[in-house]
Amino acid sequence: MRFGAAYYPEHWPVERWELDARMMREAGFNTVRMAEFAWTRLEPSQGEFDFDWLDEVVGLLGSNGVRTLMCTPTAAPPGWVVKDSPEMLPFFEDGRMVNFGGRRHYCPTQPRFRDHVERIVGAMGRHYAEDPDVIAWQIDNEFGCHQDYCYCESCQLAFQVWLQSQYESLDELNSAWGTDFWSEVFTSWDEIPAPRFTSTAHNPSLQLAWRRFYTDVWTNFYTFQADILRESGVTVPITTNLMGLYPGIDYYTHAEALDFVTWDNYPVSFPVPADNYTSALNCDLMRSVKDGAPYWVVEQQSGAPGWQSIFGRTGPGYIRLMTYLTVAHGGEGVLYFRWRSCRFGVEQYWHGILQHDGRPNWRYQEVAQVGKEFAALPADLFSARTPAQVALLFSHDQQWAHQIQPHVNGFSYLGEQLPAYQALRDAGVDVDLVNEESDLSKYRILIAPVWELIPSDMAEQVIEFVRQGGTLALTFRSAVKDWDNVIFEEPLPGPLRELLGITVDDYDAIGSQNITAGLQFSGKLPVTGNPGGTLWADVITSEGAEVAATFTDGWYVGRPAITVNHFGIGQAWYIGTHLEGEFWTPFVNYLLAQQHLPASLQRSAGVDIAHRQGERLYTFVLNMKPEAGWIEIPEMCTDLLTGERLMPGRTMLEPYGVRILA
Amino acid sequence: MRFGAAYYPEHWPVERWELDARMMREAGFNTVRMAEFAWTRLEPSQGEFDFDWLDEVVGLLGSNGVRTLMCTPTAAPPGWVVKDSPEMLPFFEDGRMVNFGGRRHYCPTQPRFRDHVERIVGAMGRHYAEDPDVIAWQIDNEFGCHQDYCYCESCQLAFQVWLQSQYESLDELNSAWGTDFWSEVFTSWDEIPAPRFTSTAHNPSLQLAWRRFYTDVWTNFYTFQADILRESGVTVPITTNLMGLYPGIDYYTHAEALDFVTWDNYPVSFPVPADNYTSALNCDLMRSVKDGAPYWVVEQQSGAPGWQSIFGRTGPGYIRLMTYLTVAHGGEGVLYFRWRSCRFGVEQYWHGILQHDGRPNWRYQEVAQVGKEFAALPADLFSARTPAQVALLFSHDQQWAHQIQPHVNGFSYLGEQLPAYQALRDAGVDVDLVNEESDLSKYRILIAPVWELIPSDMAEQVIEFVRQGGTLALTFRSAVKDWDNVIFEEPLPGPLRELLGITVDDYDAIGSQNITAGLQFSGKLPVTGNPGGTLWADVITSEGAEVAATFTDGWYVGRPAITVNHFGIGQAWYIGTHLEGEFWTPFVNYLLAQQHLPASLQRSAGVDIAHRQGERLYTFVLNMKPEAGWIEIPEMCTDLLTGERLMPGRTMLEPYGVRILA
Amino acid sequence: MRFGAAYYPEHWPVERWELDARMMREAGFNTVRMAEFAWTRLEPSQGEFDFDWLDEVVGLLGSNGVRTLMCTPTAAPPGWVVKDSPEMLPFFEDGRMVNFGGRRHYCPTQPRFRDHVERIVGAMGRHYAEDPDVIAWQIDNEFGCHQDYCYCESCQLAFQVWLQSQYESLDELNSAWGTDFWSEVFTSWDEIPAPRFTSTAHNPSLQLAWRRFYTDVWTNFYTFQADILRESGVTVPITTNLMGLYPGIDYYTHAEALDFVTWDNYPVSFPVPADNYTSALNCDLMRSVKDGAPYWVVEQQSGAPGWQSIFGRTGPGYIRLMTYLTVAHGGEGVLYFRWRSCRFGVEQYWHGILQHDGRPNWRYQEVAQVGKEFAALPADLFSARTPAQVALLFSHDQQWAHQIQPHVNGFSYLGEQLPAYQALRDAGVDVDLVNEESDLSKYRILIAPVWELIPSDMAEQVIEFVRQGGTLALTFRSAVKDWDNVIFEEPLPGPLRELLGITVDDYDAIGSQNITAGLQFSGKLPVTGNPGGTLWADVITSEGAEVAATFTDGWYVGRPAITVNHFGIGQAWYIGTHLEGEFWTPFVNYLLAQQHLPASLQRSAGVDIAHRQGERLYTFVLNMKPEAGWIEIPEMCTDLLTGERLMPGRTMLEPYGVRILA
């Protein structure tokens, strides 16, 4: 288990370093992240390097048992680099150039900038390749942050080259994208534009291809640096820090290039639980993009975050609770951001563990308590896997397609994922996120809201999944388009029509007029209350599917709104409108019961449950509320945090309290 | 009568064309619009033309009785054209360039772009000049859409040249515009700027001149193409598709260049009647800009519209109802947009008659019903004229002046037109729209809200109109400025002061503080309720006018708010504040009664009435409500849609039902 | 006393001038401001000057007793100047260039533009240096209006040069700004950027330095012109017109260069008192930036203001009331803006005394009444000083720091100043505004809300102020940073910790979640009601301070929220949260009583009181309400406006009535 913080020794007097090292050791730290934005300190002019100060602090910390996650500092190129190579400055799609003076003022495809990167990364790699205190490397920082993509000439050219690797010919591309629309047929590769500002919009197929291209650009920029480190003799693991639900990069694809996943976690809502669901979804995604492998959080919120203004809060108990949430969902490392609040620069109000004054404070005490607890937990807990039997399809390609064309005012991809995910969390089951390339065979249930794009080889896999007994639940706008973002020519839901046993003849974007469509449930589902559909209403004809609910409003009154098709030995559900928890909670519980998945522990509201399967099954119990809670213990077990033996029956939880049962 | 749809055969497999042709014929189609955005298909590289595919489809449709409205494809220049002539890309006023990748990425004044246009239009004209299946031409598509005006160097130069044709000398221009303000006196024509981004605003006179200039630019670009077609041998009528209430172009002026008016009609509110008034106003304007000549709607909404998001809805009955509304106000052609929803490109969600899957659906059935009905209606109905005796002054020059300086928060030109227009529609009378160059002599009533700019020769015409017995109604901000957007030096209402019998000494922009000013009515008008004025209060002295209402609030309490002057044998009203239907409905009915105009049929709420005078008088009765309605028949007549004889007394209307009485 | 208006004779026919001059004389005018935007009229082409028309009108007015405040016309460079020197056009930070066509389209650092300025200003100076009718000069107009700063290359270079005058070395600058953050260490002066668009934000220290730099740029541009005038022989006073609370320029620093302060005053809220506090605060600032010297208002609102839309109102009594407010707070000159509403150009709706038609109107009568009254008032009244014993720290450096980082959503510098200022006005005491360079010794009370930046030499002065018996009141976010916008390394409140007797251990940005924190008052303060804190909650430890209120919410329940430290023979208050009038009104009254400052006159709500100390003490009594008010006269006195002797007891005030008691 790696435990520690981001540390910027260059921000503090040399005389302070020793005290910092001692305080870290006393808090149970074994890891710090360093050098992240220290390029000018390390290379004050071209080819002149200064590693002395960093050697000193790496050694000082190492002698205190604190090892270093070393960073390449390329996210903040120095002024002298920009002066030398101004063509490296990136452009927004509307033509605005990003100037020097913040960070990330570079285009990742610019050759002259990459020359500078090669020099500094190579020098660092060679210098620290043999250093036993350097246990891993982070490349750059938060690709895509502040600006998803650059739209300069270099990027447009790279896009044209990349497309040649994706399509056999220009004819194939023209055909796949439907460029006959608005006379956009390309007669030469160099006519294809980056999606820069127009007075209308670019072809949705091109827009989707651009996002896929840029995932490859960022991955390529990562690999470019990782290769330099390897060539310099670096042998320890290499990574870069991801950003959870950040939508600019397909992290499933990107993570393939990383040795392990690290990410930055800012669950800024205090007091919880304003939205702890999103926090957990972040964790589940970061675990799932690398096939369930444990991750490190390299920036775990330890104070109120803010740039110009502070937009979050903290308070006693919050940091510890969120740290355990991070671990419960698959973490094997937690580094807080940051050790100490910075006195200058843009992040003066992005608070660290210590305040600007550097005195030990309540946050330091809380972190030190966690350090002590971690040291006492069994080692296998941190590398244990999440035993999920339910999968939620969460795909960046889908998210992009929905961003490009959000269908109706108020619609968003996350807004369609969350009601299902929240119902699953409330049911206490573990959830893996999957995308179109994932292996579905290990799951019993797959929920795939607004699964719009169906790659040609995916339909067969999902059909087989149901045939073999799996439960599938799709919602409106599923199976509408092919992988190039083009609508199927066959009736909807395209290649899943037989599986679902329905045809979607038409639809009504009721969200455009903020209309709620009433539903009549057949009695099959244990839905009480009277949930109504919003945003969208599909006009469905059943071709064999059982009708679980019909519309009671609109010109399609009486027509199916929710259907289930019995296919093979499984079930395929289709939900033709947007619904919230009033539907999703009973629906999810129904599906779980149908698949005979175990019911979770009984507990008070606001208590979150997650499991990790190591040598034993570890059950994390997190009370998200500022009041006491309880949980019903089914059989005698141990609370690993306190060593307490818990007897069957009701056990109390403190406000923001955590128990780990084994 | 032309009936059909926009058709894009290049979006669909050749194998489908025959089925489309047959389905069109069966739906009663006789016209399609084609080739609108097919430049690259027709000219894949410079000077290399391919008309074979288009010949085939024109012929195939022709053999099914469906003729072609052929389009020049210049609204979507190909990538190879842009690559050849990048200086053709247009600029927004803030300096942003429009990139290739959407549509309308051209500047209409750019010489090199016009060379490309000349080549493709000439080739098309020569190819189809003799084709009997091509019955008319549309040039380009929706001038001004997405971007009213280009602000590039070429346009700035053209503006300077145009101004030399409008003013005898630079001294005259300086004097007319008052360039002494802020030291903008021009000492050379080439100092005059296009109204590009400044940190304040441009001279309102220059801003108004720029808009007038650009109407001429678009008209010139139209004529440039029409002349090429004529020179190529084309003899059939030529047009371009207008956009109803689109405010960027003075359509009265622009339409003079067209052989006939076509326009695009998207009454997106379903269920009606959310605002069917605006739909009717669109129609009335499109009829009026060409002196009442029947128009074609070449894009009639046939499905939910949407780009990235769907912002409207449809449902059974809506398409037919709106089609008849289109005809009721003067249409002789209706082409739906579009035949079939496109599978790719930006307009995937701008739905056509058919869904993407191409199967016959309820919209197809509804359209086919209209086709059958149209075939049975008397031919003279479609060419009949609207017998209006009431005119509403609706002028683009006024709209521009009010856009440039909207007086007070919440004010808009349309917001001042609609209360009067709605009252007229509710009264069941036909309304022509007129502008400053229209002949007023055929009308009995002229309503001219916020008629700010008075051209020097117009005052006399309107004075004569009243003197001869006409009724004139003006509202606040009328007769404030001359034709160059400069405020009169004489007291307000300037040259209409004697006609109106008042002086406007001062005014109070009460809308700046959302104040409502109370009114006391004299009893002259049958106003019940207690309407209050908003936005504006004129401080009026009567110079002989009768006072119909006074203010009961403000420092001008007791002073006139509404006046009427008896002048010649007519009446001139002045309404010194903004009022809504509570005032306008009784006021309009009072004016109609004073002029002895016939009262319209008694009917249930939401039933719209319009007339066309052909061999007989045709009365269109449209029930805008989703519930049944009724109408009181005064004497026996025939419903031309059903052939039914209707006896005097109450006759029912179906939900969204239509009757045409003769 | 100077009394008159802004006059633009070039906007009106020569034949009108004589009538204007006579009407001005009859209204009691003795001064007009002219030539402000008349560059092209005065210099129609380079080096060709025409002063004849201006000579004529200066002379004509002079012969009517109306003297001229002459303006340099550089705020509106002619088209021919821009055509000659297009590089003079300024840039916004996002890269947009300001085009010719409005006003202020120049960069003040551009050498070629300054050549043009030198020529016109020199010519005007030489021409009017000896003219006895020209009694003062105004340079340019409203520096910074529409665009605070230009970000062109010339300005960036000037910034780099300026920084070399502010820091001894680049090392010192790097250290002072903490450029180690995000690797922004500068290795050469020419790497330092103007704060142009980035995808994040610039270093707060750089951002603050840029604003200070630009105060010097504007002052330098002023001095550049003033020097030319002096060299041309001008001997009368020179000024430029400031804009009250405009935050772009440090007016304390800027005003040092002016011979006297003039400013533009638009208290646009009618009917009062929507916010007459802001109007008074404007006046107090304009008096205070020049050490209390009387100012001229050279643009006093005389009609409804508006550009494209009118955003304010006027009505009888308002102009006179606001004129006396202007005088009450320290004016010795009032010129209305403008003589007559302009018929053309951008400011058609920025109304003057006369309407566009030029007839005498109610506003002219009201102004003429003021003219008559002014003539009868004692001359020493207009040069009398404000006898303030209470100071409010109002500093542009603080405002900038808070703009750059506004801490939490809803926070603003003005929003923190106004509750304290309003309470002081309601208490009827005179208030000076001070900044960090002001002499505090003449005050008894200093209120300094959110006094974030503490220059190193200021802490000692304020400590001494309290030690000697002064009362100091600070609020949250005080003493957080040094003068370079860097957070203190010592615990907060930094160098004022001992003075305040507290430590601020932590804080909670409660405004980020719109939380109100309850307070428990100790009984020391006469606070009734139950005010709660918003926006911010400091977590305080008393180190000897008395606790006047504690928090009743949050994890810091029971900890101090408001403290007072008895230090020397004074008191130092600290208020750790945002509070409104429910707290500030009793708090301010408590402080005044503690310092034995005299209670103000008893009066009805909405009556404002201000004093000037000349040969006698003049007490201005202004009834801000549209209803009658009253005031309690303590001893017999005279109303200088009416000559009435007022007996002790209640005296009535008319709606919007004014009395000046002596």
Model pLDDT for residues A221-266, shown as the tens digit of each residue? 999 999 999 999 999 999 999 999 999 999 999 999 999 999 999 9
Distance from CA of B85 to the nearest CA of A (A): 12
| Share above pLDDT 70 across residues of chain B, in percent, rounded to a whole number | 100
Residue A410 — φ and ψ, nearest 5°? Answer: 100, -10
When scoring A156, A180, A486 by the number of chain B Cβ atoms within 10 A, the one with the most, hence best to mutate, is: A180
Chain C residues whose beta carbon lies within 8 Å of the beta carbon of residue A355? 491, 505-506
Looking from the CA of C189 toward its CB, the CA atoms found within 13 Å total 16
Distance from CA of A115 to the nearest CA of C (A): 18
Q: Residue B598 gets which letter from DSSP?
A: P
Mean pLDDT confidence for B253-265: 98
Q: How far is CA C637 from CA C615, C623, C632, C662, in A?
A: 15, 18, 12, 6
DSSP-assigned letters across all residues of B1-39: -EEEEE--GGGS-GGGHHHHHHHHHHTT--EEEE-TT-H
Option in C11, C92, C306 nearest B180 (CB): C11
Peptide bond into B612 cis (omega under 30): no
Provide block-wise average pLDDT over 10 residues at a time, chain C (662 residues).
Answer: 98 98 98 98 98 98 98 98 98 97 98 98 98 98 98 98 98 98 98 97 98 98 98 98 98 98 92 79 98 98 95 94 97 98 98 98 98 97 97 98 97 97 96 97 97 94 97 98 98 98 98 96 94 98 98 96 98 98 97 93 94 97 95 96 96 96 96
Which of helix, strand or coil describes residue C111?
A: helix
pLDDT of residue A274: 56
Cα radius of gyration (chain C): 26
Residue contact A509–B105, C-beta within 8 A = no
Terminus-to-terminus CA distance in chain A, angstroms? 19
pLDDT of residue B273: 63
Give the residue numbers of A annotated as catalytic, written as ranges.
Answer: 142, 299
pLDDT of residue B288: 98
Chain B residues whose beta carbon lies within 8 Å of the beta carbon of residue A489? 343, 356-358
Mean pLDDT confidence for A352-368: 98
Residue contact C37–B182, C-beta within 8 A = yes
Query: Is C461 exposed, middle or buried (CB count within 10 Å of its CB: 0-12, 13-18, 19+)?
Result: middle
Give the residue numbers of C annotated as catalytic, written as ranges.
Answer: 142, 299
Looking at A232-335, list the stretches that DSSP marks H as alpha helix, in order from N- to C-terminal side: 251-255, 276-288, 318-328
Q: How far apart are CA B568 and CA B472, in angstroms?
A: 12
Query: Is C95 exposed, middle or buried (CB count within 10 Å of its CB: 0-12, 13-18, 19+)?
Result: middle
Cα A111 to its chain centre, rounded Å, is: 30
Give the contacts of A442 (CB within 8 A, at least 6 positions apart): A389
Chain B residues whose beta carbon lies within 8 Å of the beta carbon of residue C11? 178, 180-181
pLDDT of residue B573 exceeding 80, the answer is yes
Residue contact B99–A404, C-beta within 8 A = no
Give the contacts of A37 (CB within 8 A, at least 6 positions apart): A8, A73, A75, A76, A103, A141, C181, C182, C183
Angle between helix A396-404 and helix A204-231 axes, rounded to 10 deg: 140
Residue B29 — φ and ψ, nearest 5°? Answer: -65, 145
Q: Contacts from C85-88 at CB under 8 Å and sequence distance 24+?
A: C85/C110, C85/C112, C85/C113, C85/C115, C85/C116, C87/C112, C87/C154, C88/C112, C88/C113, C88/C116
How confident is residue B456, by pLDDT bands cut at 50, 70 and 90? confident
CA angle A645–A647–A650, rounded 5-degree value: 120
Q: Which two tokens stand for residue C397?
A: 């450096």
Give the contacts of B110 (CB within 8 A, at least 6 positions apart): B85, B87, B88, B152, B154
pLDDT digits (tens, 9 = 90+) for A267-308: 987 876 657 799 999 999 999 999 999 999 999 999 999 999
Q: How far apart are CA A591 and CA A614, in angstroms?
A: 27
When scoring C15, C88, C99 by the number of chain B Cβ atoms within 10 A, the one with the most, hence best to mutate, is: C99
Cα A419 to its chain centre, rounded Å, is: 17
- Yes or no: say if C101 and C203 are a contact pair by the CB < 8 Å rule: no
Looking at A234-388, list the stretches that DSSP marks H as alpha helix, in order from N- to C-terminal side: 251-255, 276-288, 318-328, 362-376, 379-383
Task: Search chain C and give the residue with CA nearest B408.
Answer: C309
Residue contact A95–B98, C-beta within 8 A = no
pLDDT of residue C274: 56
The two counts, helices (H) then strands (E), for chain B are 18, 27
Query: Is C168 exposed, middle or buried (CB count within 10 Å of its CB: 0-12, 13-18, 19+)?
Result: exposed
Q: Which H or E run includes A633? A: strand A629-633
DSSP lists the bridge partners of residue A476 as none
Closest Cα to residue C116, out of C107, C103, C126, C129? Answer: C107
Task: Search chain C and give the residue with CA nearest B409.
Answer: C309
Residue contact C344–B195, C-beta within 8 A = no
Neighbouring subunits of A (3+ Cβ pairs under 8 A): B, C
CA angle A34–A38–A42, rounded 5-degree value: 110
| B373 flagged as catalytic | no
Q: What is the 3-state composition of chain A as percent helix, strand, coil, each rounded to the nearest 5?
A: 35, 25, 45
Which of helix, strand or coil describes residue B419?
A: helix
Distance from CA of A405 to the nearest CA of B (A): 4
- Yes or no: say if C527 and C586 are a contact pair by the CB < 8 Å rule: yes
Q: How far is CA B321 from CA B266, B301, B314, in A?
A: 13, 11, 11
Q: How far apart are CA C577 and CA C112, in angstroms?
A: 51
pLDDT digits (tens, 9 = 90+) for B75-102: 999 999 999 999 999 999 999 999 999 9
Q: Which two tokens stand for residue A392?
A: 């939620």
Buried/exposed A500-515: b ≥16 CB within 10 Å, e otherwise: bbbbbbbbbbbbbbeb
Looking from the CA of A143 toward its CB, the CA atoms found within 13 Å total 31
Q: Of B10, B26, B93, B142, which is the active-site residue?
A: B142
CB neighbours of residue B626 within 10 Å: 16
pTM above 0.95, yes or no: yes
Mean pLDDT confidence for B257-261: 98
Query: Is C161 exposed, middle or buried (CB count within 10 Å of its CB: 0-12, 13-18, 19+)?
Result: exposed
Residue contact B307–A201, C-beta within 8 A = yes
pLDDT digits (tens, 9 = 90+) for B510-568: 999 999 999 999 999 999 989 999 999 999 999 999 999 999 999 999 999 999 999 99
Q: Residue C457 gets which letter from DSSP?
A: T
Give the mean pLDDT of chain C: 97
Look-up of token digits 């005979």:
A596
Q: Which two tokens stand for residue A361?
A: 């404070």
Peptide bond into B273 cis (omega under 30): yes
Q: How far apart are CA C141 and CA B183, in angstroms?
A: 13
Residue contact C101–B196, C-beta within 8 A = yes
pLDDT digits (tens, 9 = 90+) for B432-445: 999 999 999 999 99
- Yes or no: say if C50 and C42 are a contact pair by the CB < 8 Å rule: yes
Q: Of B299, B366, B436, B452, which is the active-site residue?
A: B299
Determine the residue type at A282: N
Angle between helix B204-231 and helix B396-404 axes, rounded to 10 deg: 140
Chain A residues whose beta carbon lies within 8 Å of the beta carbon of residue C193? 79, 99-101
pLDDT of residue C275: 75
Residue contact C308–B201, C-beta within 8 A = yes
pLDDT of residue B276: 79
Give the mean pLDDT of chain A: 97
When scoring B344, B355, B356, B362 by the number of chain A Cβ atoms within 10 A, the one with the most, hence best to mutate, is: B344
Neighbouring subunits of B (3+ Cβ pairs under 8 A): A, C
pLDDT of residue C270: 80
Which of helix, strand or coil describes residue C629?
A: strand
- Yes or no: say if C282 and C244 are a contact pair by the CB < 8 Å rule: yes
Q: Which H or E run includes B166? A: helix B153-166
Q: Which H or E run includes B447? A: strand B445-448
DSSP collapsed to 3 states, C482-499 = CCCCCECCCCECHHHHHH
Q: Which two tokens stand for residue C216?
A: 């010097």
Q: How far is CA A155 from CA A93, A213, A479, B384, C372, in A?
A: 11, 10, 32, 59, 73
Residue contact A44–C510, C-beta within 8 A = no
Q: In what order do the strands lie in the sheet with A577-578?
A: A502-508, A534-542, A577-578
